[in-house]
Structure 1
Amino acid sequence: MFEFKTTTDDCIKCGKCIPTCTIHNVNMDEVTSPRGFLDLLGAYQRGDLELDKNAKDIFESCFLCTNCVDICPNDLPVDMVIEQVRNDIRKKYGLAWYKRLAFFLLRNRKIMDIAAKFGFMFQTCGFKKVESQSAMVTRKFPIIKMDRMVPSLKRKSFLNSHPDVIKNGGKGKVGIFIGCLANYMYTDIGKALLEILKVLEIDAYLIKQQKCCGAPSYFTGDFDSVDKLAKFNIEYIEGFMDDLDAIIIPEATCSAMIKEDYAHFFHDQPEWKARAERIKPHIYMASEYLEKKTNLAEVLSKKAKQKFSVTYHDPCHARKMQGIFQEPRHLLAQNYEMREMSDPNRCCGFGGVTMQTEKYHLAKAAGLPKAAMIKETEATYVSAECSACRMQISNSMYLSDVNNVTFKNPIELIAQALKEQ
């Protein structure tokens, strides 16, 4: 069993975490607060708490937003210990069939490619398309009871739509780790990134054998899948990382998983932990690399100002886990009017696979305040470098009738600005 005692005993019960906690703001109960979780985890390890279905429900209610970790005076890894107990939950109760299917597909890209093609062909049977958001809304069919917006599948994935290597002039060379949502659904993100690299004359390597980073499995407790995916990706990246300037990722969750969570996951496998640490300096969020390592800001400053405004949402896995929030804003501000929402750091409420399925009511409740903040800015676009946030925020805006704001990844907005004379 994972050792929870150190973390739970070090909690001084100061309560600073509670006002920032996403689930506590939705369900104001001490049990569903960071110090409540830690108390229960301590009781579980001492044998005073059975991991019954009530405890399962409580531990699966955390959004893993890391707000508590960010503000904790003792820097306690509350998210990490909850991820660990979810593995114990999975061992005891198993996974729902749809989670097993999803994680099987994410482990097997070739089969996922085929499934995505069939999904594209038949998605309009259960959904109607919303062109403005590149998304689908559930039709009122008996088998699909929730009225919600989800991203639409594309005819062809990003990785299958472009050659392995795209030569742009040789002023640099980067690998692109695209992420599953951007590969199969939000494919314009990858296309926009290629357009930016072309302008900068940086060669692009699509490193097509990449597999899912493992984040969906990690947050759900399927550690067997994480072990396989993380080891494959680490070994794969090791094979070429010294030949490239960087591996860039236009997704906060994927970047945080590879840069931070791989080392956390392999806490009890020293060899793999060390290997995870070795690849970390080579991994960048796309906006981070473009702002710090290229002259993109200068190039953008010479382009025309856009007649549009942007409000930027800080993904939890960008600002709190990687300290990235100024970089995308700096790039966007070269061409767009920036309008800050009242709390750009507030979690959008995505929360992972379990939250989006079995606890959708919590995700919905957490997302509506974010939609209200976006509406207040009266911005043309809302942007975040995270497709999970995009999926959640787009749905929250749909449920709130915020129809005059379009979600775009900052990479898409930057590419849009570069096209202007």
Structure 2
Amino acid sequence: MKSQGTREEIESIRNEVEKCIRCGSCLFYCPVYSEIADENYGPRGRNHLIKGLVENPQDLVTDARDRFEKCLLCGGCTNTCPQGVRNDLIMLAVRGELVRQNGLPLTSSLAFRHVLKNRDTMKKALRMAAAFQWMLPESKRKGGSSGTGVSSESGRVRHIPMLFTGIAGTRHFPSIAASFLSERISEINPPDPNSDKKDLRVAYFSGCATEFMFPHVGESLIRLLQRSGVEVIFPKNQGCCGTAVHANGDMETAREMALHNMQVLSEAKADYVVTGCATCGSALKEGWASLVQDRGPKALVSQFAAKVRDISEFIVEMTDLKPLRYQSLLPDNVRVTYHDPCHLARHQRVVEQPRAILQKVFGNRFVEMDNNGCCGFGGSFNLKNQDLSRKIGQDKIESIKRTKADVVITTCPGCMIHLIDGIEQNHMSQRVMHLASAVEPS
């Protein structure tokens, strides 16, 4: 038992755990508890367990792993907690300690330390997977146009049948792209010569899903920025943001990935770092800082984080309180709704900016959902808890149905993957699009 490491990890969350007054407000906003209805899997129950571990850290055993893994890290509990308890930080610390004591499963170790950490290896692995994806049948509704004339954001959607249930269940996943984003665009992308130049340079951080599954989203985002008068630098040696690694407790690998990416993006000498991935944005703004313990690097990470913006955030800030001059790329008759990614709305508190854009562009054709909660994806949570993830997602799908919208717009490629699957599973006609693909400067 590595008692010294345990004590340091547990001590780091002592203050957060002790702030919990067991009022139970969090339970109403926890998507996992809403489905399981078991206090052991709610924020209050887990905090009760951890309070005991603060005094007796040797009691943190593998048997408790399931209780800590069944958390989406969505931030719903923290946002509603009257004490502001950071349950997400508590979960991350405990998962880190579980890994420190027991190590990673072999498959996770290979994935995190040899694939996600190395972008070239990841490209090779996905090229190999892409070579065999023809074996998976396409979903009945192929990429094309719906009755509204809206092209599919996801391109071809592959149906992963029961034959592969042990790997991914019966799912509908976007195909791996024939060419990746870093192969489609230049590293330096000057502003459109016909635009109102802003004398701004941004570094674009794409994230893995955009790089490998949705490269057209990255192209749209860069084009949107160029047409807005902004120079865009796309560093080709950027890698995975490390959120999946961090969320699964491999702190050291996540720390190495964070420092690598921060160095790469800093070398671009940009005024801002812009991303179109809510999960990556959360990592760049806060996740990386939480991984660096010594004061020097942590101060540098904090300075770096202050320059990070979600694309919706950047668009609204760039207008400098002037009227938004953006227009729809969709047909005139299309109704849209918006899904709040947890890492954007609850972790970064970016809620009004995407709505300001959509309300300006679509007017009364923008319809709010009555469920602004988590879609149930949660990255690796979706792989480890497939049935639970789908049940949580179904609540979101039913809310989409009630809007009668033609298009679901969001700013998280991970959410896009899960929403596409849910819509396909329910044989619905709605399309899922990224905000950057739905609007352009007017």
- What is the TM-score with the length of structure 2 in the denominator? 0.87
**More displaced 10-residue stretch of structure 1: 219-228 or 190-199:** 190-199
Q: Provide Cα deviations, 1:357-412, integer angstroms capped at 9, x if missing partner.
A: 221111111111000000111101111100111112222222233x2111001111
**More displaced 10-residue stretch of structure 1: 16-25 or 134-143:** 134-143
Give aligned pairs, total.
Answer: 411
Report the Cα offset of residue 158 of structure 1. Answer: 0.5
In 2, Cα distance between equivalents of 1:292 and 1:193: 16
Determine if the alignment matches structure 1 residue 363 to structure 2 residue 373. Answer: no
**Residue pairs, 1:98-113, within 5 angstroms:** 98-103=107-112, 104-113=114-123
Report the Cα offset of residue 199 of structure 1. Answer: 1.9
> Alignment RMSD, CA only?
2.2
Evaluate the alpha carbon distance shift between residue 80 and residue 165 of structure 1 in structure 2; reply closer, same or farther with a 3 A threshold: same
Report the Cα offset of residue 118 of structure 1. Answer: 2.0
Partner of 2:202: 174
Partner of 1:36: 45
C-alpha contact 2:359 2:366 (8 A) present in aligned 1? yes
Moved over 6 A (4+): 302-305
Partner of 1:347: 374
Report the Cα offset of residue 198 of structure 1. Answer: 3.0
Determine if the alignment matches structure 1 residue 270 to structure 2 residue 270. Answer: no
Evaluate the alpha carbon distance shift between residue 303 and residue 227 of structure 1 in structure 2; reply closer, same or farther with a 3 A threshold: closer
Determine which of 42, 51, 61 is the counterpart of 1:52. 61
Partner of 2:435: 410
Evaluate the alpha carbon distance shift between residue 82 and residue 140 of structure 1 in structure 2; reply closer, same or farther with a 3 A threshold: closer
Partner of 1:125: 135
Evaluate the alpha carbon distance shift between residue 186 and residue 35 of structure 1 in structure 2; reply closer, same or farther with a 3 A threshold: same
C-alpha contact 1:164 1:208 (8 A) present in aligned 2? yes
> Is the partner of 2:182 in helix, strand or coil?
coil
Q: Provide Cα deviations, 1:85-142, integer angstroms capped at 9, x if missing partner.
A: 1112223343334323332211111121222222222112245354244332103425
Evaluate the alpha carbon distance shift between residue 413 and residue 297 of structure 1 in structure 2; reply closer, same or farther with a 3 A threshold: farther
Which ranges in structure 1 are unaligned for 5 or more consecutive residues?
none
In 1, Cα distance between equivalents of 2:295 and 2:134: 48
* 1:111 alignment partner AA: T
Partner of 1:225: 253
Evaluate the alpha carbon distance shift between residue 48 and residue 276 of structure 1 in structure 2; reply closer, same or farther with a 3 A threshold: closer
C-alpha contact 2:327 2:439 (8 A) present in aligned 1? no
Determine if the alignment matches structure 1 residue 312 to structure 2 residue 338. Answer: yes
> Is the partner of 2:411 in helix, strand or coil?
coil
Determine if the alignment matches structure 1 residue 286 to structure 2 residue 311. Answer: yes
* 2:135 alignment partner AA: C
In 2, Cα distance between equivalents of 1:398 and 1:141: 18
In 2, Cα distance between equivalents of 1:145 and 1:352: 13
Evaluate the alpha carbon distance shift between residue 58 and residue 162 of structure 1 in structure 2; reply closer, same or farther with a 3 A threshold: same
Report the Cα offset of residue 29 of structure 1. Answer: 1.0
- What is the TM-score with the length of structure 1 in the denominator? 0.91
> Is the partner of 1:31 in helix, strand or coil?
helix
> Is the partner of 1:175 in helix, strand or coil?
strand
Evaluate the alpha carbon distance shift between residue 356 and residue 93 of structure 1 in structure 2; reply closer, same or farther with a 3 A threshold: farther
C-alpha contact 1:128 1:139 (8 A) present in aligned 2? no
Evaluate the alpha carbon distance shift between residue 146 and residue 246 of structure 1 in structure 2; reply closer, same or farther with a 3 A threshold: same
Q: Provide Cα deviations, 1:55-101, integer angstroms capped at 9, x if missing partner.
A: 11111111111111111111111110111111122233433343233
Evaluate the alpha carbon distance shift between residue 289 and residue 76 of structure 1 in structure 2; reply closer, same or farther with a 3 A threshold: same
Determine if the alignment matches structure 1 residue 235 to structure 2 residue 235. Answer: no
Determine if the alignment matches structure 1 residue 146 to structure 2 residue 156. Answer: no
Partner of 2:73: 64
Determine which of 339, 352, 360 is the counterpart of 1:326. 352
**More displaced 10-residue stretch of structure 1: 94-103 or 157-166:** 94-103
C-alpha contact 1:384 1:390 (8 A) present in aligned 2? yes
In 1, Cα distance between equivalents of 2:323 and 2:394: 33
Partner of 2:411: 385
Partner of 1:202: 230
In 2, Cα distance between equivalents of 1:50 and 1:399: 42
In 1, Cα distance between equivalents of 2:421 and 2:132: 21
Which ranges in structure 2 are unaligned for 5 or more consecutive residues?
1-5, 144-151
**More displaced 10-residue stretch of structure 1: 136-145 or 202-211:** 136-145
Determine which of 247, 263, 279 is the counterpart of 1:253. 279
In 2, Cα distance between equivalents of 1:366 and 1:412: 27
Evaluate the alpha carbon distance shift between residue 59 and residue 145 of structure 1 in structure 2; reply closer, same or farther with a 3 A threshold: closer
C-alpha contact 2:136 2:158 (8 A) present in aligned 1? no
C-alpha contact 2:316 2:324 (8 A) present in aligned 1? no
Determine which of 357, 374, 382 is the counterpart of 2:400. 374
Determine which of 100, 124, 127 is the counterpart of 1:114. 124
* 1:340 alignment partner AA: E
In 1, Cα distance between equivalents of 2:338 and 2:266: 34
In 1, Cα distance between equivalents of 2:336 and 2:44: 36
